[in-house]
Structure formats: C-alpha cells, structure tokens
Amino acid sequence: MAFKITMFLFMVFLSLKFQSSKAQAWIRAGYWYSGSEFPISNINSELFTHLICAFADVNSTSYELSISSSNEQMFSTFAYTVKQKNPSVTTLLSVRGGIADYLVLSEMVSNLSHRKSFIDSSIRIARLNGFQGLDLCWVSANTSSDMTNMGILFKEWRNAASSEPNNSGKAELILTAAVQYSPDVEDASFPVDSIQSYLDWIHVMAYDYHMPQWYNFTGAQAALFDPSSETNTDFGISSWIGRGISSSKLVLALPYYGYAWTLVNPKENGIGALARGPAISEDGSMAFKDIKGYIDRYNAQVIYNATYVLNYCSVGSTWIRFDDVEVVKVKVSYAKEKKLLGYFAWHIANDDNWELYIAGKKWLELGQ
C-alpha cells in the first residue's frame, strides 16, 4: 500500500511538473539577440518568466536547424547562464526567417522530408542545449501556399514534440511563433486554425507600422491606436481574436527601439509632419537607451500622445518616435484588459538599465 501511495504521489508530481511547463498565468518575455553583442551574463533574468535566444538558422541544403559557429558557444550556454540568476526562467530557441532566408523556409515547409529534417533537428538541438521550447520567426511568409504549408509544419512539429518525451522523459517542448501584428499579410493569411490547435502561443510583432525609409512623413511606428488607419496594434489584436485565436495565446510586443526622421520644416514637428527620410542612422532606427542619451544630451522635451499612445521628441530637424515608460504602462494595461497571455520585449539589449522592463513589471504587480 505504501508503495502504491508513493507511486501515485510521484505520478501527480510529474503531472504537475508537466502542466506547469505548459501553462502560464502571465508571460513576461524578452528576446536576446546575438547580434546585439550584449553579454548573456548581463541579462537580469529575474525580471523575466521567459527568455528567447535569437537566432538559429535553417540549413539551405539539409533543411536542418543549425547554429552558426559564431553563435555556437553562446547558444550552448544560454540556458545555463540565465538560470544562474533565475532557476525558474523558461528558455526558448528562436529560428530566424527574415527576408534573406525566405526561399529556404518556403522550400522547407513545402516538402515532407524537408519538414521532418527541420523538426527532428530542432528538437534535438533544443534538448542538447538545454532549451525548453522553440520559436519560429518567419514573418516574411507572404503567399497562401506558404501559410498552408506553415500550418502543416505546426501540426507535424507538435506531433513530434508530443511524442518526444516518451524517449527523453522530459516535459514537452513549448512551441511558439513570431507573427505580424495582423493575421492578414498582403494576399495571404496566417494559418489561424493550426496556430490555435498546435502552438502554445504566438508573439505578435506590434511594431514597424511606419518607418522613415518608407514614408515622407513622421509616423506612429508602434501605435496602440490610430483613429485614421487600421495599421495599429488594437486593430491587429482584435483581428487575431476575431479570426479565432484565443486571447490567451497572444503575447504582445513592446518595442525597445524607435525611429528618427528628418523633418522638412523643424517648426512642423507633430505626427504626420513632412519628412525627407531617416535621421541619425542609415535606416533611422535607434535603441531606447540611445534615444534616452540623445534626449539628455540635447535636453529635448518628450511629448506623450494619448490618442496613438506613443512618445516623440524633436531637436532641430530630427524627430524621434519611441515608447517610453508611460507607453509601456498603457500597453501592459491593455494586454491585461484584453486578457492576453502577456508581453515580450524586442529586444532586451536596447533597454536603458532595465528601465522599461522594470516599469512594466511593477505596473503589472500593482494590478493596474
């Protein structure tokens, strides 16, 4: 009898352990990007529930997941390093799918054997390096066939991840994806049904709506609302939910960067002011910490716009749009009100001494 009770309690423990790895009351995640040159050991992992290591790649010949030689050492120690400060933090490995990798990923998802190569290798590499989940970041997918095949991949990926614990004895890997702010992209739509059925959640990339190299006027790069356009976060989140995605599968992006425009007339410096391209950097992008330094250096006045929910400032002909503490608090409150699963930062190295992340965490804890 004592043996049966012991075995029962052991099975309950395993069940609870498995469930805790799959269910989260609230996610506070952040992407660490290897190209940022921000040391992994400097990550304040105590602030996060989830940390995502970016990026692994897909081999153009074998279609297996691969880690570049320059990233191999960092990626192999990522999970171990961040767990030194926070043993309970969950780590995921993100697979890149930018414009440069579009054809490789399109070919991979379109072929059964290629998908299997990717799936098997991704699970193997995740386990080998101590990651508890995998994230697919293929936001350049833009055709109906891409989206259909992506949905097939998600199903096969989940089936493989569900059966793998029978051999490894470990909790099932978390599977996620980074997606555009809206389920509809050009003439295609993300595979909503497959996402709902087979992924644990999705990271909604609610940013880059307006960029200085695209438009000749200043714009709301990550507007929560926009009274004159459907290109805004609230519209995107509502669209995902309206298409059938549970709000509890949506994790909202907090962009830790902004863009600088060159104004045509420095005296006309509001949202929608005429501009002639990027300022400061080649594409106008600026990390939040660099924006803060710029503001301090020029003693610039920061303006908060409650209609769009954004901050901006101008110095001469330079106009900068970004999210400061006020915006982070509103977006965190929005995520709670919409019953989303949480939020994530892209990317954490851009923060200024963890100012934005601490603000969001404290605001959440206050129950606002």
User: What does the pLDDT read at residue 1?
Assistant: 42
Q: Is residue 292 part of a domain?
A: no
pLDDT of 241 above 90: yes
pLDDT of 125 above 60: yes
User: What does the pLDDT read at residue 98?
Assistant: 63
Task: Kindly calculate the radius of gyration of the chain based on its CA atoms and give it in whole angstroms.
Answer: 21
Pick from 100, 93, 2, 88: which is nearest to 46 by CA? Answer: 88
Q: Is residue 291 part of a domain?
A: no
Q: Is residue 224 part of a domain?
A: yes
User: What does the pLDDT read at residue 31?
Assistant: 98
pLDDT, one tens digit per residue, over 338-364 is: 999 999 999 999 999 999 999 998 887
State both tokens at 148. 């259909």
pLDDT, one tens digit per residue, over 244-265 is: 999 999 999 999 999 999 999 9
Q: Are strands 250-255 and 310-315 parallel, antiparallel or unpaired?
A: unpaired
Q: Is residue 4 part of a domain?
A: no
d(CA 83, CA 199): 24
pLDDT of 121 above 50: yes
Number of domains comprising the chain: 1
Q: Is residue 115 part of a domain?
A: yes
User: What does the pLDDT read at residue 127?
Assistant: 98
pLDDT of 295 above 70: yes
Mean pLDDT estimate for the chain? 92
Task: Tokens 């978390």: give the residue.
Answer: 174
Beta-sheet strands, E only, within the chain: 27-33, 50-58, 65-66, 90-96, 133-137, 174-180, 184-185, 188-189, 201-205, 250-255, 257-263, 275-278, 285-287, 303-305, 310-315, 318-322, 342-346
Per-residue pLDDT band at 365 (split at 50, 70, 90): confident
pLDDT of 5 above 70: no
Per-residue pLDDT band at 6 (split at 50, 70, 90): very low
User: What does the pLDDT read at residue 100?
Assistant: 62
User: What does the pLDDT read at residue 24?
Assistant: 52
User: What does the pLDDT read at residue 16?
Assistant: 38
DSSP 12-74: HHHHHHHHHHH--S-EEEEEEEGGG---GGG--GGG-SEEEEEEEEE-TTT--EE--HHHHHH
User: What does the pLDDT read at residue 144?
Assistant: 96
Q: Is residue 21 part of a domain?
A: no
Residue 220: Cβ-neighbour burial (10 angstroms; 0-12, 13-18, 19+): buried
Per-residue pLDDT band at 162 (split at 50, 70, 90): very high
Per-residue pLDDT band at 73 (split at 50, 70, 90): very high
User: What does the pLDDT read at residue 99?
Assistant: 62
Mean pLDDT of 30-45: 96
pLDDT, one tens digit per residue, over 174-227 is: 999 999 999 998 889 999 999 999 999 999 999 999 999 999 999 999 999 999
Mean pLDDT of 315-340: 97
Within its chain, how far is the Cα of 229 from the centroid?
24
pLDDT of 237 above 80: yes
Q: Is residue 274 part of a domain?
A: no
Mean pLDDT of 27-41: 96
pLDDT of 307 above 90: yes
The domain of 230 spans: 27-255+323-366
User: What does the pLDDT read at residue 10?
Assistant: 38
The strand pairing partners of 255, in sequence order, are: 346
User: What does the pLDDT read at residue 158?
Assistant: 98
Lowest mean pLDDT among 37-41, 185-189, 321-325: 185-189
CA distances from 197 to 149, 154, 157, 236, 245 (A): 15, 9, 12, 20, 9
pTM: 0.91
User: What does the pLDDT read at residue 342?
Assistant: 97
The answer to whether 269 and 314 have CB atoms below 8 angstroms apart is yes
CATH number at residue 174: 3.20.20.80
Say which residues have a Cβ less than 8 Å from residue 104's Cβ, sequence separation at least 6.
58, 59, 60, 63
Q: Is residue 277 part of a domain?
A: no
